[in-house]
Amino acid sequence: MSLVVDSNIEYLQSILHISKVTFQTKYADKSVEEILEAEAAQGNQQAIELAQELTTNTNLIIELFELADTNNKYLILRELNSQQLHLFLPEMEENDMLQGLFFFTQDKLMKLLEELPPEQLVNTVFEMFSQEEIVQLMPEEQLDKFLTSTDIDKNKILKHMQSIPEEYVAQVLEQITGESVQNMDSIDLSKKFGELNPLEYKDALMAFQPAQKQQLVLSLGKEHNEWFQLFDAHAYTKIINREKQQPEVVKAMSVIDPEHIQEMLKELPDDLLSIVITQIDTEKFAEILMDRFPEVIADIIMK
């Protein structure tokens, strides 16, 4: 590693009580380590104490190497490998990590969303769309997948079917069974629906018009939010990609658990990830350096 980070020479000069003229004459081209060694050899007590604190005093490191400056942070981070950079992510604020998502293209964001656990994806979708909008935008084959899922109790579907106008339920039953169901009310119609054999029952659900399927799915989904996870991830991302722009998508991703955002950011090239990490709290940055990478601190001091 050949790392050169601008030192706060005025701060060092002040803390060692050396005049500006002396400092410029003797130490203009010296490293921090060389200056401290020279002053300590001459009995400068401040230099002796400072040399001992360079590996333990976070505030000293921050001031001496101006780590609040994002450029100085970046100079250090770009010397680290991927695994080392990843150690900083758990210490970052969520909002700062979210900004890193802007480095991904819209298509890449869609792929990252598809890789999320279903609950995390649905929570993100709910930030962009209402339940009504989701159901209206879902392709019919996804509505069929939802209604015929074995994860939904049949009795729940029959109960919510009573909210569909009777003429539509009657029309489907007559189409499937070939029998007249005139003069039946919604309760009798749903009961008759429930008596169909499994194959007929599935065919009957899929025989509804899209509007009735949407009504039934929405009614079920309002009672059980978790059932929105039954839609395919790709169906969701196709809707998002068509209806929303990158800034809206990133904003909605604020509800994703931080550990998943961290995993996404790990897919950035190291140079871009380094830029993201420069936004980390400076004190945390210094603490991680001193705790995990003392050799980096040593290298800075020597240059």
Residues 131 and 236 in one domain: yes
Residues 114 and 243 in one domain: yes
For residue 13, pLDDT over 60 is answered with: yes
Q: Is residue 170 part of a domain?
A: no
If you average pLDDT over residues 182-196, what whole number do you get? 87
Angle among Cα 97, 101, 105 to the nearest 5 degrees reads 170
Query: CB neighbours (10 Å) of residue 295?
Result: 10
For residue 33, pLDDT over 50 is answered with: yes
For residue 4, pLDDT over 60 is answered with: no
If you average pLDDT over residues 12-37, what whole number do you get? 80
> What are residue 68's phi and psi, to 5 degrees?
-70, -20
Residues 122 and 253 in one domain: yes
Q: Is residue 177 part of a domain?
A: no
For residues 165 and 278, give the distance between their C-alpha atoms in angstroms, rounded to a whole number. 59
pTM of the model: 0.83
If you average pLDDT over residues 182-202, what whole number do you get? 89
Q: Is residue 36 part of a domain?
A: yes
Residue 3 has a pLDDT of 47
Q: Is residue 179 part of a domain?
A: no
Residue 71 has a pLDDT of 92
Q: Is residue 173 part of a domain?
A: no
Residues 128 and 242 in one domain: yes
Residues 145 and 210 in one domain: yes
Residue 293 has a pLDDT of 87
Residue 128 has a pLDDT of 98
Residues 23 and 51 in one domain: yes
Q: Is residue 133 part of a domain?
A: yes
Q: Which residue in 42, 57, 47 sits closest to 15, CA to CA?
A: 47
Residues 116 and 70 in one domain: no
Residues 63 and 13 in one domain: yes
Higher pLDDT, 183 or 124: 124
Residues 253 and 147 in one domain: yes
Q: Is residue 183 part of a domain?
A: no
- Check the CA dihedral 182-184-189-191 and report its sign: negative
Residues 76 and 153 in one domain: no
Burial of 271 (0-12, 13-18, 19+ CB in 10 A): exposed
Task: Band the pLDDT of 181: cuts 50, 70, 90.
Answer: confident
Asked whether the beta carbons of 98 and 253 are under 8 A apart, the reply is yes
Residues 289 and 225 in one domain: no
Q: Is residue 178 part of a domain?
A: no
Residue 120 has a pLDDT of 98
If you average pLDDT over residues 107-118, what whole number do you get? 98
For residue 192, pLDDT over 70 is answered with: yes
Total number of domains constituting the chain: 2
User: What's the domain range around 254?
Assistant: 103-160+198-263
If you average pLDDT over residues 248-265, what whole number do you get? 98
Residues 28 and 150 in one domain: no
For residues 164 and 284, give the distance between their C-alpha atoms in angstroms, rounded to a whole number. 58
For residue 2, pLDDT over 50 is answered with: no
